[in-house]
């Protein structure tokens, strides 16, 4: 099977660089006139899938909003994943898993092995038990053409206290994570399969993302306050690997499918203006 990096690179070229999250917050269910129960969850996820599954490169269901309904919510997640796959978008499950290696192997089997009912193209993972503890996820992903997005610099204000702490070698925790992921992607073309999560809200932190050679998922746009223009400040010369991610800003346009598609198209257009901008000779970019 083709690697996740190859498949993602093609999807971003053909459909545009955009990830839309499925985050059925109770407030959004109410806004859409849906009950806060499994039937509302199912209708919400189905509507987003039918509206956007054949339009955007990546759809990112947020597992927590399905898990809160127990096994019936997870069953909705399974069918949402199947429907998204049939519609042609890549599925990135936001589960932020991490543990000791032997347990990470079970998470890898749950999400990255094609025989699992929850099999997806990629997952988010937490590196705070050590990036090396995620090796079973990297191995299973590589074997089956999947991807892993590891938290590096998250979009929430509390993240910095942990992620920007410095180790004995003077690097921040985040830079150490970034460097380990860069090693895994070394030599991959056109893009490695191991990604990072870097919030669009964080400003210029001085971290070096230039050697990652993998996708950079950028949440925090829209509802958390970041704009497409912020991508330039956060990512600088690493802009070409950025996958901007919106949940509530796009979802708030529903439940009308045409309005959801228009909101996603507008978000994509705003990001494209920044991501497609020509590079200046000093490596910075100018907006089109």
**Binding stretches for ligand LLZGTKA7 (CB under 6 A):** 21, 23, 62, 94, 154-155, 197, 199, 219-220, 222-224, 246-248
Whether 96 is a known active-site residue: answer yes
| Cα–Cα separations (whole angstroms), residue 33 to 26, 232, 258 | 11, 37, 17
> Nearest approach, Cβ of 196 to ligand LLZGTKA7 (angstroms)?
10
> Nearest approach, Cβ of 58 to ligand LLZGTKA7 (angstroms)?
12
- Between 161 and 280, whose beta carbon lies closer to ligand LLZGTKA7? 161
> Nearest approach, Cβ of 97 to ligand LLZGTKA7 (angstroms)?
13
Whose CA is closest to 257, among 24, 81, 50, 15?
50
> Nearest approach, Cβ of 197 to ligand LLZGTKA7 (angstroms)?
5
The residue count of the chain comes to 288
- Please tell me which residue in 96, 144, 164, 261 is annotated as part of the active site: 96
Cα 238 to Cα 178: distance, rounded to the nearest angstrom: 12
> Nearest approach, Cβ of 168 to ligand LLZGTKA7 (angstroms)?
26
Cα 288 to Cα 276: distance, rounded to the nearest angstrom: 7
> Nearest approach, Cβ of 22 to ligand LLZGTKA7 (angstroms)?
9
- Between 1 and 64, whose beta carbon lies closer to ligand LLZGTKA7? 64
- Between 176 and 250, whose beta carbon lies closer to ligand LLZGTKA7? 250
Q: Where are the alpha helices (DSSP H) in the chain?
A: 4-15, 26-31, 38-52, 63-67, 70-87, 101-112, 135-144, 160-163, 173-185, 228-235, 248-251, 257-275
Cα 264 to Cα 254: distance, rounded to the nearest angstrom: 11
Residue with tokens 């909101």: 263
- Between 182 and 226, whose beta carbon lies closer to ligand LLZGTKA7? 226
The DSSP bridge partners found for residue 226 are 221
- Between 3 and 226, whose beta carbon lies closer to ligand LLZGTKA7? 226
- Between 84 and 145, whose beta carbon lies closer to ligand LLZGTKA7? 84
Q: Are 190 and 220 in contact (CB under 8 A)?
A: no
Q: Are 251 and 221 in contact (CB under 8 A)?
A: no
Pairing outcome for strands 122-125 and 90-97: parallel
Catalytic site residues?
96
């Amino acid at each position: 099977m083709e690697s996740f990096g190859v498949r993602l690179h093609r999807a971003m070229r053909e459909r545009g660089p955009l990830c839309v999250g499925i985050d059925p917050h109770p407030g959004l269910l109410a806004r859409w006139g849906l009950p806060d129960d499994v039937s509302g969850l199912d209708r919400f996820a189905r509507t987003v899938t039918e509206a956007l599954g054949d339009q955007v490169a990546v759809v990112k269901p947020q597992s927590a909003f399905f898990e809160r309904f127990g096994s019936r919510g997870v069953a909705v997640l399974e069918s949402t994943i199947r429907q998204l796959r049939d519609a042609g978008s890549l599925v990135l499950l936001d589960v932020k898993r991490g543990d000791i290696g032997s347990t990470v192997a079970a998470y890898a089997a749950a999400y990255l092995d094609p025989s699992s009912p929850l099999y997806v193209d990629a997952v988010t993972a937490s590196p705070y038990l050590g990036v090396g503890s995620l090796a079973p996820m990297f191995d299973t992903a590589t074997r089956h053409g999947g991807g892993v997005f590891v938290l590096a610099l998250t979009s929430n204000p509390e993240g910095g206290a942990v992620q920007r702490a410095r180790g004995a070698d003077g690097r921040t925790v985040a830079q150490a994570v970034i460097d380990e992921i860069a090693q895994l992607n070394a030599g991959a073309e056109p893009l490695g399969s191991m990604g990072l999560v870097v919030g669009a809200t964080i400003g210029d932190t001085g971290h070096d993302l230039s050697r990652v050679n993998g996708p950079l998922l950028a949440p925090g746009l829209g509802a958390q306050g970041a704009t497409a223009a912020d991508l330039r400040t956060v990512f600088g010369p690493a802009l070409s690997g950025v996958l901007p991610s919106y949940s509530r800003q796009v979802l708030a346009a529903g439940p009308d499918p045409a309005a959801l598609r228009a909101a996603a198209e507008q978000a994509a257009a705003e990001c494209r203006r920044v991501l497609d901008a020509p590079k200046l000779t000093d490596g910075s970019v100018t907006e089109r």
